[in-house]
């Protein structure tokens, strides 16, 4: 049995709603997959009541064999949600942030990460967190990805968003535009390409990944007239990897790369900065895309949206991104084990 751990994220946001709606809709994975929430069972029970959803919250004992507990509690009468209990520090009210629950959010993440590292969980899926309230509580926290890298003792990760028919990885992430060029070095770009290529092989079973690489500047630098980063940094790095036999096409102008001429034969796109590639992906798959962290020793997927505090407890949140994140985690788990997806 493969157990996917899910952390609903900020308890005052829509993360708990999405999880409960997903389970209530009967969207549970196939028989060889089980979903376990790392959360406060009382909070989930109260939120289900507020949403008018009938979900059987089944609290498990972390001290005992989780797989055996799930098997012994199996039923043909859905919907049921298994929960690894982590208690809130204060009662959560939908839409109302509370610094007292920041430690709870981080503990759910640590529990999921530890379970994945030990092999107890096959993958983890994360709901949206609120970085501001975690920092206001006195914790240094710049985001899920950085926290995961620190906990897994990894020096570099790569953010990749995916939707049906398109994967976009980022060479840089949340930087001011004026800092992007300085952040793209031969060393950092080489490591990014290595991570992207290797995870496409190992976690997606793509034996010879075909990667399109964006230029940094308009028209990919126009032969040096619009910037030299393509000539001095990007092209030399791509040449180095092509000598290994890797299939890298670029640097290409980003304004024409995202067309069928190129995408039809590509497994992923490497974008140089956040708003170069993600607007295209979100236009193509808004509400049905997920975030995948590459470069970790574990599988981690996530929703691609925030906490939406104004929608929490209303029952109107769209589960599309969560469904995509869960399905992506399942496919990656099967690819990694050599099973067909």
Cite the annotated binding site for substrate by residue number: 144-145, 282, 291, 300
3-state SS assignment for residue 113: helix
Cα 220 versus chain centre, distance: 29
Q: Give the total residue count for the chain.
A: 341
Binding annotation: 144-145, 174, 219, 274, 282, 291, 300
CB-based contacts of 21: which residues, under 8 Å, 6+ apart?
51, 53, 315, 317, 319
Binding annotation for a divalent metal cation: 174, 219, 274
Which tokens belong to 107?
Answer: 């503990």
Helix (H) or strand (E) holding 4, with range, is: strand 2-7
Which tokens belong to 93?
Answer: 């009210």
What is the maximum alpha-carbon separation in the chain?
68
Place of tokens 């049995």: 1
Cβ burial, residue 190 (10 Å; 0-12/13-18/19+): middle
Residue 88: HSE in the Cβ half-sphere, 13 Å Cα cutoff:
20
């Amino acid at each position: 049995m493969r157990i996917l751990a899910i952390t609903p994220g900020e308890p005052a946001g829509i993360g708990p709603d999405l999880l409960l709606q997903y389970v209530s809709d009967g969207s549970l994975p196939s028989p060889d997959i089980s979903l376990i929430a790392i959360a406060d069972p009382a909070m989930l029970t109260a939120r289900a009541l507020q949403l008018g959803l009938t979900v059987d919250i089944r609290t498990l004992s972390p001290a005992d064999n989780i797989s055996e507990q799930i098997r012994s509690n199996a039923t043909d009468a859905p919907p049921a949600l298994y929960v690894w209990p982590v208690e809130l520090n204060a009662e959560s009210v939908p839409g109302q942030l509370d610094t007292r629950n920041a430690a709870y959010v981080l503990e759910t993440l640590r529990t999921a990460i530890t379970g994945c590292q030990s092999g107890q969980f096959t993958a983890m899926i994360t709901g949206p967190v609120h970085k501001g309230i975690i920092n206001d509580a006195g914790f240094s926290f710049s985001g899920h990805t950085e926290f995961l890298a620190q906990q897994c003792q990894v020096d570099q990760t790569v953010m990749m968003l995916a939707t049906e028919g398109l994967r976009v990885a980022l060479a840089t992430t949340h930087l001011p535009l004026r800092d992007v060029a300085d952040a793209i070095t031969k060393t950092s770009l080489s490591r990014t390409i290595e991570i992207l290529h290797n995870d496409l092989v190992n976690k997606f079973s793509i034996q010879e990944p075909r990667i399109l690489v964006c230029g940094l500047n308009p028209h990919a630098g126009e032969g040096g007239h619009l910037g030299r980063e393509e000539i001095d940094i990007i092209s030399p790095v791509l040449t180095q990897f092509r000598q290994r036999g890797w299939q890298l096409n670029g640097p290409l102008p980003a304004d024409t790369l995202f067309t069928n001429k190129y995408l039809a034969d590509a497994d992923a796109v490497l974008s140089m900065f956040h708003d170069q590639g993600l607007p295209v992906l979100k236009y193509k798959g808004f509400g049905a895309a997920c975030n995948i962290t590459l470069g970790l020793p574990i599988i981690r997927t996530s929703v691609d949206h925030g906490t939406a505090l104004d929608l929490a407890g209303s029952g109107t949140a769209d589960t599309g991104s969560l469904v995509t994140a869960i399905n992506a985690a399942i496919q990656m788990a099967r690819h990694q084990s050599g099973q067909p997806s």
